[in-house]
Amino acid sequence: MLAVVGAGVIGLSTAVCIAESIPSCAVTVLAEHFTPDTTSDVAPFIPLLNLLMLTSICLHYLLVLHLFLTKQNNNKLFLSVRWQVFQETPSTKDPYWSTVVLGFHMMTDAELQRFPKYKFGQSFTTIKCECSKYLLWLEKRLKNAGGQLHTEKITGFEQLTSSYDIIVNCSGLGSRDLADDQSLYPVRGQILRVHAPWLKHFIRDGNGHTYIFPGIHSVTLGGTRQKHNWEMSVDEADSSGIFERCCELEPSLKKSQVCSKLVGLRPTRNSLRLEREFFVHGNRQVPIIHNYGHGGGGISIHWGTALEATQLVKESINWRNPTSKL
């Protein structure tokens, strides 16, 4: 019996990967909140890495995600053309992810004409999806693999040691208390969703603070990156700032209608925690695989870290049962 704590994109993808890779393992996802009430539901599905995640392993995880998604028969996934524009030409014109996305090229003068304040741009094609739809797809996939979903607030690993042989911790910011990890902190993100069906291209200011992400039913406008800010209420000053910046980037947004305003807290630490430890409770020693601290890059690297966590689960099963050949 295996428990995955957390039902965002990290928890569900990890649970799916384990259930499909190890059919003999009974997988249960435990969480206080499921979609549409997770942090992942707020995040736009943008599979790109920020500069803080610029490592060879994260680039590998990004490639793994693209390979995984392009093989899926999922009508919720689409290809989307994206423009990234810069007010000053960056020192590196070919970004680290240019070999992962499709059709990467420098924007032509004709393409840049619609952005008069910008001197340089990059155009490419990548995957588009809406996170809530993707989470529902993961839930369905998990159930098809024999996994279960249970609503339960986990306040300590000792709650689980009598019922589960292995625990996978994907609790995000919950790990501050659950794993006593005080190095974990929130980076607050606020977005707007507007009705602007005429917009089809993803547009992002190269500074990373402003983006326009057309989804299936609405357009996401972002955003904020406020370190150590735990406030979950919508800040109207932030909303106004986001809307004004996005209208500068795409003036047609001035006639759009705001549908909703949302806040999410990115679970951030200096480095991703993806490792195994052993939790002792009474006479029980239970392996715990930690998979959290993805910050704003959870969407980009979730399948790669799910595969790594699954390998740690296999090693834990072999530790419990040395005759196992997983």
**39 annotated ligand binder:** yes
Cα separation of 70 and 79, whole Å? Answer: 10
**233 annotated ligand binder:** no
**8 annotated ligand binder:** no
Q: Is the peptide bond before 267 cis (omega within 30 degrees of 0)?
A: no
**164 annotated ligand binder:** no
Is-contact 7 34, C-beta < 8 A? yes
**284 annotated ligand binder:** no
Note the helical H segments in 170-297. Answer: 175-178, 236-249
Cα Rg, the chain, nearest whole Å? 20
Cα separation of 116 and 231, whole Å? Answer: 36
- How far, CA to CA in Å, does 148 sit from each of 167, 201, 230, 271, 274? 14, 37, 31, 30, 23
* 118 φ, ψ (degrees, to nearest 5): -115, 140
List binding-site positions for D-dopa.
211, 266, 296
List binding-site positions for FAD.
39-40
List binding-site positions.
39-40, 211, 266, 296
